[in-house]
Amino acid sequence: MSEIVGKLLVVDDNEMNRDMLSRRLERQGHTVQSAENGRQALEMMRAAPFDLVLLDIMMPEMNGYQVLEELKTDPALRHIPVIMISAVDEIESVVRCIELGADDYLPKPFNPVLLKARLGASLDKKRMRDQEQAYLTQIEAEKKRADDLLHVILPDAVVAELKANNQVKPRRFDNVAVMFCDIVEFTGYCDQHAPEEVIPHLQKLVETFEELALTHHLQKIKTVGDAFMTTAGLLEPSANPVLDCVKCGLEMVAVAPTLPPSWQVRVGIHVGPVMAGLVGRRQYLFDIIGDTVNTAARVEALGVPNSVNVSGAAWAWVKDVCRSESRGLVPVKGKGALEMFRLDGFRQAQAVAA
């Protein structure tokens, strides 16, 4: 096994002692720097890393006890091993040095064999500590990465509950506005273009929609193919969740044609109760289910391209601030005929900020 070497700092006010000890340590393969007093030593340690310090006790201006005490109270330096070297060999001096945090103690004149052995032991402990710190840093980095990924996958409130309870309790939420946005003729576009073109364009659209959802305080639930699903009034309270979705939906309709390849989209909105919770064990997601979700999907599918289509129930929430055109009773699978409305915008400009 190869001997452990390191970067050492020799601190002694006696120039002859410093030079003699430095040369001996350099012959053992160590990199050695020296300081003639305690203040200089502290400055050097704060300016560059050292693996070990050999510190004389009896020095003018700032003795070894004072240096050791300041060293061990500095969070950036306290981990550096210190071996005290002094002509003082009374047991009280040894005890005081150990109490102040010294790793070892050697009397002068020192025994070269003992010095080498104790240097090796201290450097080995330092190496083990450095490895432990590196592992802890790596673990913390991995934990942060996992936590960041969790926040990307799940809403913040859901992550907090999952961490606290190791589960997320399923709940019913009333008056939740559910909005779907779907690309018109997306399947045909995919059939005529390569994945290298389709996916980047779809990614850009989804990223834009995500930013719009955040702006209007909507909670994105998921994307399924080209369908973008989001909600208002679910995990974050809203005075008018339908109006929040309408504002976002109108901006989605407006921005989609400006992105390559000039997408056209349909937006559908419905409001009502939903059930929400974590679904799955691998690659799970926070999802919502219920008749409100199914109806919102059908309102979108039956909508007009480049417009926001809302159900009669959703229209009741925004009829005072929005303009619309009734599409009459529209047959909906599993629901019968439902009245739907195509929104034309707001009755007045200030309604957008309402």
Helix/strand/coil for 82: strand
- Give the pLDDT confidence score for residue 1 in this predicted structure: 43
Reported pTM: 0.64
Q: What is the pLDDT of residue 37?
A: 92
Instruction: Please give the structure tokens belonging to residue 285.
Output: 């997601």
Tokens 């059930």 map to which residue?
A: 275
Contact indicator for 181, 264 with CB cutoff of 8 Å:
no
27 vs 33: CA distance, rounded Å: 14
Note the helical H segments in the chain: 15-27, 38-47, 64-72, 91-99, 112-153, 156-165, 186-192, 195-215, 241-255, 291-301, 312-318
Please state the φ and ψ torsions of residue 261, each to the nearest 5 degrees: -100, 50
Predicted confidence at residue 272, as pLDDT, reads 96
Give the pLDDT of the chain (354 residues) as one tens digit per residue.
457 888 999 999 999 988 999 998 999 899 999 999 999 999 999 999 999 999 998 888 888 899 999 998 999 998 999 998 877 666 788 788 888 889 888 887 778 888 888 888 888 888 888 888 888 888 888 888 878 777 777 778 887 887 887 777 888 999 999 999 999 999 999 999 999 999 999 999 999 999 999 999 999 999 988 999 999 999 888 999 999 999 999 999 999 999 999 999 999 999 999 998 887 777 677 889 999 999 999 999 999 999 999 999 999 999 999 999 999 999 888 888 999 999 988 887 544 444
Displacement of CA 224 from its chain's centroid (Å): 25
pLDDT, residue 219, reads 92
Show the domains of the chain with their CATH numbers: 7-141 (3.40.50.2300), 156-353 (3.30.70.1230)
Q: Identify the pLDDT of residue 289.
A: 92
- Please list, in sequence order, all residues whose beta carbon lies within 8 angstroms of the beta carbon of residue 120, skipping any fewer than 6 positions away: 3, 4
Q: Which amino acid is at 191?
A: D
SS (H, E, C) 261-292: CCCCEEEEEEEEEEEEEEECCCCCEEEEECHH
pLDDT of 110 reads 74
